[in-house]
Amino acid sequence: MLPTVLPASRHLLPACPTARARARRLGALATAVLIAEAELTPKPALVDRRGRGAHTDLDLDLMRRSARALQSGFEAMALCAAGQRPSPQLRERLAQLGRDAEVAMLAASAGANTHRGAIWALGLLLAGAVASPEVPPSSLPRLAVGDTAAHLAAVTADTIAHTAGAIARHPDRLAPPNPSHGAAVCARYGVSGARGEACAGFPHVLHHGLPTLRAARARGLPEDSARLDALLAIMSHLDDTCLLHRGGRDALLTAQVGASTVLALGGTSTPAGSRALHRLDAQLLALDASPGGSADLLAATLFLDALHP
């Protein structure tokens, strides 16, 4: 069966062929990183090549189908944001495209929530990659008016994340009143959740995921080990609302301490770190909890890393 394809959206702005080609490439990249995240093995209590993890309604084939069903939605988000400045109007257009993408996801996954958090994170980062950058003043030299080359050179992983955050901070005035599990968890536990992460410019990606990924590669580690270490670095610091929803503070503390322990033992590539990773997997499975928010941010890490290696 062919993956679900989104219809042409009424929200798309006119675009030149170059913008369309770039949107296609970015949509394909977002899909590829979701599949790469799903296939990465062994992840603690998450769907991977071994099985379902802590999820009874998900499996690897379903995650792949869901990711492929989102590709045209990701392309639409990139096309919508091309050359735009962060604004309430852009935020609302992206939000509607995200809701359209959720329809495609649910059709491909038979109603399972495979990638709702990833649609939010990657959709914003796609937009941040093509929108007019909101660059932190400290990160740029003073530019002369019309200095296009220098302006484009400034669009790094940091500025993409910063621009995505500037978009996220605008309200979505058209959002339907449909509170999510994540919103309920944020209210109950006083954490910022996926919205807070985006509004802050994806700090767990920039300060934990990307540095750990690149440091592991610099030490000559295999790519899967580097990616697993990046996941654990995110887990060790993130107040993951998926863990809180499924297992409360016990699950969150288990994940954070367990991930920190693996890294302190040298990471997933060492014998001691590998044993600790498998212990963490067993502990989270016993709690029926998985770090889905961390997995979404690993996909975001891989996306930014691929754009700016």
pLDDT in tens, 200-214: 999 999 999 999 999
Range of the domain at 91: 17-307
**8 Å CB contact between 31 and 67:** yes
User: How many angstroms separate the CA atoms of 16 and 125, rounded?
Assistant: 21
Q: 217 lies in a domain?
A: yes
User: How many angstroms separate the CA atoms of 309 and 304, rounded?
Assistant: 8
User: How many angstroms separate the CA atoms of 261 and 294, rounded?
Assistant: 17
**Count of CB atoms within 10 A of residue 10's CB?**
8
Q: 215 lies in a domain?
A: yes
Q: 145 lies in a domain?
A: yes
pTM summary value = 0.88
Q: 48 lies in a domain?
A: yes
Read off the pLDDT of residues 98-127 as tens digits, 9 standing for 90 and up: 999 999 999 999 999 999 999 999 999 999
Instruction: Print pLDDT tens along the chain (309 aa).
Output: 223 332 333 333 445 568 899 999 999 999 999 999 999 999 999 999 999 999 999 999 999 999 999 999 999 999 999 999 999 999 999 999 999 999 999 999 999 999 999 999 999 999 999 998 876 544 444 434 334 333 444 469 999 999 999 999 999 988 877 667 788 899 999 999 999 999 999 999 999 999 999 999 999 999 999 999 999 999 999 999 999 999 999 999 999 999 999 999 999 999 999 999 999 999 999 999 999 999 999 999 999 999 977
Q: 129 lies in a domain?
A: yes
Q: 190 lies in a domain?
A: yes
Q: 177 lies in a domain?
A: yes
Q: CA neighbours within 13 Å on the CB side: how many for 256?
A: 13
Count structural domains, the chain.
Answer: 1
User: DSSP letters along 203-270, please?
Assistant: HHIIIIIHHHHHHHHHTT--HHHHHHHHHHHHHHH---HHHHHHHHHHHHHHHHHHHHHHHHTT-TTS
CA angle 301, 304, 309 (to 5 degrees): 110
Q: Give me the phi and psi of 48, to 5 degrees please.
A: -155, -165
Residue 255: name the closest of 55, 46, 52 by CA. 46
Q: 32 lies in a domain?
A: yes
Residue 263: name the closest of 236, 295, 302, 288 by CA. 236
